Amino acid sequence: MSAERPQSVLFCCDHNAVRSPMAEGMMKKFYGTEIYVQSAGVKNDLDIDGFSVAVCAEMDVELNRHRTRSFEEMQEWGDDLSGFDLVVALSPASQRQALELTRYFHLDVEYWPILDPTGLGEGREEKLNSYRQARDQIKGRIEQRFGPPTAE
């Protein structure tokens, strides 16, 4: 574990439809209620990605009920950014947005460059393999950063 475990984490990416929901789902499965976890996107113009749902289901992480949301909607729904101990950006655009939104209050922002699997692969199996690669990158970073799962 590379740093002290925060009490609350916000994962963010471009649309809150692929990478950040995977990270949120894994964190909730791995650590239960020990860490408050949410996710958001720079935009909310897509639904949860079916390939993300499928590859997370392979490890018993349920994403079917995930509802995508933007940073703006997150704050409208009562999750103030200043209430999080850590923001983990999974894409360059979300890192820029997180740094912009957090410049007025002290908040740690980490950038994890995770593969964007959308648009990769020709057939279904190739696409699933790209999503598995992104999922496994996220899983590895979570375990490296927050330690071994405690709630599986």
> What is the predicted pLDDT for the residue at 143?
95
Domains and CATH numbers, the chain: 8-146 (3.40.50.2300)
Q: Are 14 and 41 in contact (CB under 8 A)?
A: yes
Alpha-carbon distance of 68 to 140, in angstroms, equals 23
> What is the predicted pLDDT for the residue at 35?
92
Alpha-carbon distance of 142 to 59, in angstroms, equals 15
| E-state strands within 17-96 | 36-41, 86-89
> What is the predicted pLDDT for the residue at 140?
96
Q: How many CB atoms lie within 10 A of CB 113?
A: 12
> What is the predicted pLDDT for the residue at 75?
72
- Count helices and strands (H / E) in the chain: 5, 4
- Report residue 139 as tokens: 């899983």
> Which regions of the chain are under pLDDT 70?
1-3, 46, 77-79, 105, 152
Q: Is the pTM of this model over 0.85?
A: yes
Give the pairing of strands 8-13 and 108-111: unpaired
> What is the predicted pLDDT for the residue at 96?
86
